[in-house]
Amino acid sequence: MASLNHPGDLKYSKTDEWVRVEGDEVVIGITDYAQDQLGDIVYVELPWESGENIAFEGKFGDIESVKATSELMSPLSGDVIGSNEELKEHPEYINDYPYEKGWMVRLKLSDPSQLDNLLNADQYLEYLQGR
Amino acid sequence: MSVESLIFEKGAPGRRAATMPAMDVPTELLEDLIPASLLREKPAALPEVSEIEVVRHYTHLSQRNFGVETGFYPLGSCTMKYNPKINEDMAALPGFAHIHPLQPVQDAQGAIQLMFELERYLAEISSMTRVTLQPSAGAHGELTGLMLIKAYHQSKGQGHRNLVLIPDNAHGTNPASATLADYKAVEVQSDDTTGGIDMGHLKTLLEAHGDHVAAIMLTNPNTLGLFDANIAEIGRQIHAVGGQLYYDGANANAVLGITRPGDMGFDVVHFNLHKTCSTPHGGGGPGAGPIGVKAHLVPFLPGPLPAKNAEGYYWEDAGPQSIGKVRANLGNFGGLVRAYTYIRSNGPDGLRHVSESAILNANYLRQGLSSDYEIAYPHICQHEFVATARKQKEEHGVTATDIAKRLLDYGMYAPTVYFPLIVPEAMMIEPTETETRESLDSFISVMKTIAEEARTNPEIVKTAPHTTVIGRLDQALAARKPNLRWNPGQEVTHS
């Protein structure tokens, strides 16, 4: 756990997504802890078409590692502005750069108050240690 | 042993295994028989090899196989347990091996009798009313069972029921089958202490969605190898809201002659004959996944079903409410003969002994490994248990995959790893009933050695296997950029 990186300027969900707030938009990916647990990511399915509405705690994609396939759950609701097309060819970015080149979707928030439910880095780390 | 080249890389142009006699009938031009647009422009790039080259090639490949007939194989009945040779003798009897599914019934009396009796044996073992032998394997049985449940609900004016409850430690086929049957799979949490169903969560789900629950799918004992002692209460609660209970029979190797799904309250059960009843299913098939049902579901069964009257055995057509056939012909007959043989050669006491030995062997291993590996749920287990490499990963960076690979160096196969999903670094170990005490001791000793290596020389575990023909493969690259097809003229490289 100590070697994992959870930047202080991001928000986190208990389902292991990180959120970077940029005005009324957010960028979402999965945390360093999540990618470490999943192991080598081999495939990711994201909402490739813009405009799709993602529900609060709704599914926004699937992620497959050498161990298992999991659903990606959104900690926020909003409309998809874009998804990281580079992950089609380079799913390993999620392992190697979870907070930069491994970002997944950009949403336009439909309810910014949902951000209040998210954890900060210290709270997330504490949550992980209690798991 | 060197790397075996592909059959396409062997031989020489024009080389043949057989010489065809001269044509003694008039020839027809291919172009006159098949439209030109469908003909190849140049001949297919087939191997051109002699008979001995073919034989050596495939013999060499077969020598690379590792299976339960070559060594210890802790995948257990989950994959395929040892297949007794008497099964093969019986399946090879000409009256079984050379029969045709459309043969007149008077010429196939023995085969129909075998299916008639097998159906009744399976019904007795599971405490069900009738059984269909048609489904091709477990997941096909699941789909068929859910289709029966759907037909039953529709017949009762309950067609709105759209949810199937599935525990978080279930086999992945359960939610897949539910989805295929046009149901929505809803996850039920398991209890952290017992490993069984979290009764509080079940109650919450039933209170919120009870009138939409079509069924619950359970494996008992579950994939943690633990028997859910609340099963009678679970059954009562599901039935109280109008749902049905589906028994995933993948772990039936633990219950033969000891308890029965029908007595636990289940309405439908599938058997994996290729697991429990020792029939082969190499290379993805052919398996056999009969399902048994309680009386209220019998009218919906696929037909025809084997029947008997004063003149002998015959096929009885399905009734008007049947969901229809789920497979061409009558099921995987070769597998049915082997399963019948297994049941008859063991008998009732022998089958119970199978499960008792499987349970004893699993607990012997669980106890033997518990000082070096964490056991996910350290209770008395059934036919299998789940150990975890959590400690090895945290302390030495050695994962379940690394341990699995290192086992190969010691001439043993690896257990199932990373399943069930709720246990991190899971190693699901199932020795089955056929292992001797010596082979169990030998596995414990190897696992202890690997645990010691993880402490003192973790690199040797992380880079295993070292003694196999091919070493550690890059499984991530293989999945990210699969390159599976040989193309004529393509440079072949062996790294």
Give residue-wise pLDDT tens across range B363-417.
999 999 999 999 999 999 999 999 999 999 999 999 999 999 999 999 999 999 9
State pLDDT tens for residues B321-349.
Answer: 999 999 988 889 999 999 999 999 999 99
Among partner residues A37, A67, A92, which is closest to B480 by beta-carbon distance? A92
Three-class DSSP category at A60? strand
Q: Do B480 and A91 touch (CB under 8 A)?
A: yes
Residue A94: its H or E element: helix A92-96
Radius of gyration for the alpha carbons in chain A, expressed in angstroms and rounded = 14
User: Which among A3, A15, A42, A93 is the top mutation candidate for probing chain B, defined by the most B β-carbons within 10 Å of its own β-carbon?
Assistant: A42
Residues in B closer than 8 angstroms to A64, CB to CB, are 479
Please report the domains of chain A, with CATH numbers, ordered by start residue: 15-129 (2.40.50.100)
Contact at 8 Å (CB) between B266 and B234? no
Q: What count of CB pairs under 8 Å joins A to B?
A: 21
- As a whole-number percent, the residues of chain B with pLDDT over 70 amount to 97
Q: Do A66 and B421 touch (CB under 8 A)?
A: no
Q: Do B476 and A43 touch (CB under 8 A)?
A: no
The interface predicted TM-score (ipTM) is 0.77
pLDDT of the residue at B67: 87
State pLDDT tens for residues B270-325.
Answer: 999 989 999 987 655 578 999 999 999 999 999 999 999 999 999 999 999 999 99
Section B69-76 average pLDDT: 91
Q: In three state form, how does the secondary structure of chain B look?
A: CCCCCCHHHCECCCCCCCCCCCCCCCCCCHHHHCCHHHCCCCCCCCCECCHHHHHHHHHHHHHCCCCCCCCCCCCHHHHCCCCCHHHHHHHCCHHHHCCCCCCCHHHCHHHHHHHHHHHHHHHHHHCCCEEECCCCCHHHHHHHHHHHHHHHHHHCCCCCCCEEEEECCCCCHHHHHHHHCCCEEEEECECCCCCCECHHHHHHHHHHHHHHEEEEEECCCCCCCCCCCCHHHHHHHHHHCCCEEEECHHHHHHCCCCCCHHHHCCCEEECCHHHHCCCCCHHHCCCCCCEEECHHHHHHCCCCEEEEECCEEEEECCCCCCCCCCCCCCCCHHHHHHHHHHHHHHHHHHHHHHHHHHHHHHHHHHHHHCCCCEECCCCCCCCCEEEECHHHHHHHCCCHHHHHHHHHHCCCCCCEECCCCCCCCEEEECCCCCCCHHHHHHHHHHHHHHHHHHHHCHHHHHCCCCCCCCCCCCHHHHHHCCCCCCCCCCCCCCC
pLDDT of the residue at B66: 87
State pLDDT tens for residues B236-252.
Answer: 999 999 999 999 999 99
**What whole-number distance in Å separates Cα of residue B96 and Cα of residue B101?**
11
pLDDT of the residue at B224: 96
Q: How far apart are the first and last CA of chain B?
A: 15
Q: How close B472 comes to chain A (CA, Å)? A: 14
Which range, of A48-57, A92-101, B108-117, averages the lowest pLDDT? Answer: A48-57
User: Which among A38, A59, A66, A71 is the top mutation candidate for probing chain B, defined by the most B β-carbons within 10 Å of its own β-carbon?
Assistant: A66
- Residue A121: left if φ>0, alpha if ψ -120 to 50, beta else—which one? alpha
Contact at 8 Å (CB) between A65 and A39? yes
pTM of the model: 0.89
Q: What is the mean pLDDT of chain A?
A: 93
Amino acid sitting at position B403? I
State pLDDT tens for residues B407-440.
Answer: 999 999 999 999 998 999 999 999 999 999 999 9
Residues in A closer than 8 angstroms to B414, CB to CB, are none
Could you tell me which chain B residue has the CA closest to the CA of A1?
A: B394
Section A100-125 average pLDDT: 95
Closest by CA position to B376, among listed B415, B409, B412, B320: B415
| Residue A25: pLDDT over 90 | yes
Q: What is the mean pLDDT of chain B?
A: 94
Q: Do A42 and B418 touch (CB under 8 A)?
A: no
Residues of B with CB under 8 A from a CB of A: 418-419, 421, 424, 475-476, 479-480
Token pair of B32 as six digits: 């006159």
Could you tell me which chain A residue has the CA closest to the CA of B479?
A: A42
Please report the domains of chain B, with CATH numbers, ordered by start residue: 7-63 (no CATH), 87-346 (3.40.640.10), 349-479 (3.90.1150.10)
Contact at 8 Å (CB) between B211 and B236? no
